[in-house]
Structures are given as C-alpha cells and as structure tokens.
Amino acid sequence: MTTEFGDSPAIDPQLHTRRLRRQDRFFFWLAWGSATVVVLVLLGVLLSLLSEALPALRQFGLPFLWTERWSPAKDIYGAAAPIFGTLVTSAIAMLIGVPASFGIAIFLTELCPKVLRRPIGIAIELLAGIPSIIYGLWGFFVFAPWMAAHVEPFLTATFGELPIIGVLFQGAPYGIGMLTAGIVLAIMILPFITSVTRDVFETVPVMLRESAYGLGMTTWEVVRHVIIPYTRLGLVGGVMLGLGRALGETMAVTFVIGNSHRIHASLLAPGTTISAAIANEFTEATTTLYSSSLVALGLILFVITFIVLGLAKWLTGRSESF
C-alpha cells in the first residue's frame, strides 16, 4: 500500500495502535517500578535501623526516650538530651529563618528594582551551595567568639532577670550553645526557603496583582490578601523543606553546639543534637550496646522526620481544601 503523495508505505492503524499500547504499558510499569523502589528503599532503611537498634531498645525500653543520662563508661544511655537539642535548635532556626526568607522573597518579587533582582537572587542561591563544614568552621572561629563577646552578654544583661523568659538567657557566655547552633541553622536553611518562596510568589498571575493595586491596596495588603493565600501550598512545602534540613544537619551543628549530653533551660548553654551525637561518637562506640544506642538515635530522627513530612502533607491537604 502506498500513500497518495508518494511511494512510502502507509502506516497500519492497528500496528500503530499496538505500538502505542506497548509504549504506554512500558511507561506505566517503569513509573510503577520507580515508585516501588522508593518505598522498598524506605522500608529497608527502617528495618535496618530497627534491627541494629534492638539491643538498646530491649535494654532500656521506652524510658530511653526521656532518660537524660549518657554514660559510655557505665553503658547507660538516654536520648532525652539529643532529642531536646534537635527540637530546640530547629525551632530557633525556623523562628529566625522563615520570616527572614519570606521578607527576602517579598522584596525580590515586589519591591526590588529589576536590575538588582538577578544578582541578589544568585547570591542567595549560592548560599545553598556552601558545604556545611564551611558553615561549621565559620561558626566556630568567627561567629561563636562574636556571640560570646557581644550578643550573649547583652542578652543576659537585658533579658536574664525578666520573669518567665529570663531563664532562657541566663548563664556564662560560652559562645557555643543551642542559640548559636540555631542561628547558624537559620542561615543555612534561609536560601532553600527563600528560593522556593520566591518561585511560588512569581506564579501569581500578573492580573491578580494589578487588580489588587487598582483597587487601592498597598503592597502589604497585596502580599497578605492575594499572594500568600494564592501560594499557600508552595509556602508550606518550602517551610517543611527548611525544617527537614534543620533537623538533619550534622557538621555545622557539631562545631557550634558544644556537644553536651545535658538538658539546660538556657539557650546559651551547650547541648547536643541527634545527628551531632552520632557524628561525634560513632567511631568511639566499642560495645554493642553503645553502637546500638547511637543507631537508636538515628531511628528516632527517622521517625521525627517522618512525622514532619506527615504534618506537611496534612497541612497541605487542609490548605488545598481551604
């Protein structure tokens, strides 16, 4: 069979349909297999952590979660201090990083001159490419001494005697501690949240912005009543991305947190996090119970991260329904 316009054979419709079906089936099984591999890897990581952490979980049970004492010499281990440090430093990072990231994104999309938008955006994105070890070295040799000499004495003198919140700022100005670690984490997560926030702000249709300004809204009113509601889902994703980075950061925190297995009410006191404790002590874990306790800390961090992702999904669902 030839075509009307030449000698090339015409395409058999049935053969073409079968070929498309085969391609569609191949694509379906490839996508399904990729998703299955991700789930299997996740389950494999969970099962391996569980199997390695079993000796510690059998020895200490649930009290492992709220026991503060950590004594390798006596094989007594508790995860309370690392869990506390992880949550506190991440909370400090989010309290500082999220408003700063939103402010930078609003400036870049709404207020910044077009000539400066690209250079400033590139500079912020370059912060994300700096290795965490560099942040740790800078924090230890530059930022921590500056905190000890200027910031922490000011905080102690200004807020240390106040009721309720005063206990958070009492103590000697070591420079290293949970507050310093939280600020370093805030600097590290800032480019991630800023990049996502700026990108989702730019998805707002120009018509909505122009209509809002045409009704007489100020820039703040446009951001609050138009841009943020329109981009709520993306904002939640960006914040959770930053929180995940803060929870799992290791080297930078290890340098500036002080690595003390103690729970202190003061933010100026040294502490530790789950990832910092594992990084510091895994090579020294000479006993089965010691190494198992460190793996149990990793399992706890895995569960915390899973809870954070579940919370993000729940918040996204609520925002979508709203």
pLDDT for the residue 274? 92
Structure tokens at 215: 């009704």
- Asked if residue 98 and residue 25 are part of one domain, the reply reads no
Q: pTM for the complete prediction?
A: 0.86
**The predicted structure's pLDDT at residue 80:** 92
Give tens-digit pLDDT for 297-317.
999 999 998 888 888 778 777
Do 141 and 198 share a domain, yes or no?
A: yes
The answer on pLDDT for 161 being more than 90 is: no
**Given this model, what pLDDT does residue 162 score?**
85
Q: Give me the DSSP letters along 36-63.
A: HHHHHHHHHHHHHHHHHHHHHHHHH-GG
Query: Does residue 29 sit in helix, strand or coil?
Result: helix
**Residue that wins the pLDDT comparison between 183 and 74:** 183
Average pLDDT, the chain: 87
DSSP state of 267: T
Q: Which of 18, 45, 60 is the last residue of a domain?
A: 60
Helical spans, DSSP H, in the chain: 13-60, 80-106, 114-128, 132-138, 144-146, 152-159, 178-201, 206-214, 219-222, 228-230, 232-248, 251-256, 274-281, 288-321
Structural domain of residue 20, as residue ranges?
1-60
Same domain, 54 and 110: no
How many separate domains does the chain show? 2
Residues 194, 199, 202, 204, CA torsion sign = negative
Rounded to an integer, what distance in angstroms lies between the CA atom of residue 129 and that of residue 145?
A: 25
**Which of the four pLDDT bands, split at 50, 70 and 90, describes residue 1?**
very low
Mean pLDDT, range 256-262, rounded to an integer? 89
Rounded Cα distance, 241 and 252, in Å: 18
SS3 2: strand
How many whole angstroms separate alpha carbon 278 and alpha carbon 311? 26
Return d(Cα 163, Cα 267) in angstroms, integer: 15
